[in-house]
Amino acid sequence: MLIVGPPGAGKGTQAARLATRFGIPEISTGDIFRTNIREETELGVQVKAIVDAGDYVPDSLTNALVVSRLEEDDAADGFLLDGYPRTPEQVEYLDALLAGKGQQIDVVIQLVAEQDEIVKRLTGRAKEQGRADDTEDAIRHRQQVYIRETAPLIDVFKERGLLVQVDGLGEIDEVADRITKALAERGIGDVASGA
């Protein structure tokens, strides 16, 4: 399972709920980067140098970190990826990796949200949390980067018939219910239903 959506659409919140519901690990590239940096692994040292320089972590390094995480025991029976893949090359890499294990992507959940609403949500959160770096300009820039980088991937997943689009705006429980309903319409249920 993959979850995609613009920054501020609630991916992390919904991913955590889905992972718990399905009994699978939520695998976030951001979390992987932070863990490896904190633990000063060989890959983490490389990521830290790149991030500190303000550069984009290359596909080869991102792929290596994701592979390392997917090889852990808890991911053997499924997983939810958040923040990966982000490039067409990463999609190809993931496809090949999963094919080698006899696995495939079952569904891609896209949280859809109107940009101005997300900006309003994030600027409000920034004020509440005192996050000076979350200015409206910075938030709008991240939204544009997401649109530019992710749009081609959305088309790929749509062509494959994997995409499930869900309105990401509203209360957390409302969005979770929309996701549950959209997955049920595809025959994807929870562990209790045997799906």
d(CA 65, CA 44): 9
Selected catalytic residue, list 125, 158, 160, 186: 125
Whether 48 is a known active-site residue: answer no
pLDDT of residue 54: 66
Is-contact 83 62, C-beta < 8 A? no
d(CA 158, CA 91): 13
pLDDT of residue 191: 43
d(CA 7, CA 57): 18
Selected catalytic residue, list 131, 158, 181, 186: 131
Token pair 């569904």 is found at 107
Selected catalytic residue, list 21, 120, 140, 142: 142
- CATH fold, domain 2-193, is Rossmann fold (3.40.50)
pLDDT of residue 144: 84
pLDDT of residue 194: 37
Tokens of 103: 């696995």
Give the up-direction half-sphere exposure of residue 61: CA atoms within 13 A in the CB hemisphere: 20
d(CA 4, CA 18): 13
Whether 11 is a known active-site residue: answer yes
* Residues of the chain below pLDDT 70: 54, 133, 190-195
23 in the Ramachandran plot: left (φ > 0), alpha (ψ -120 to 50) or beta? Answer: left
Give the up-direction half-sphere exposure of residue 37: CA atoms within 13 A in the CB hemisphere: 15
Selected catalytic residue, list 11, 17, 69, 178: 11
Whether 131 is a known active-site residue: answer yes
Whether 21 is a known active-site residue: answer no
Is-contact 91 153, C-beta < 8 A? yes
Whether 142 is a known active-site residue: answer yes
pLDDT tens digits for range 139-159: 888 888 788 878 789 999 999
Segments making up each domain of the chain, as ranges? 2-193
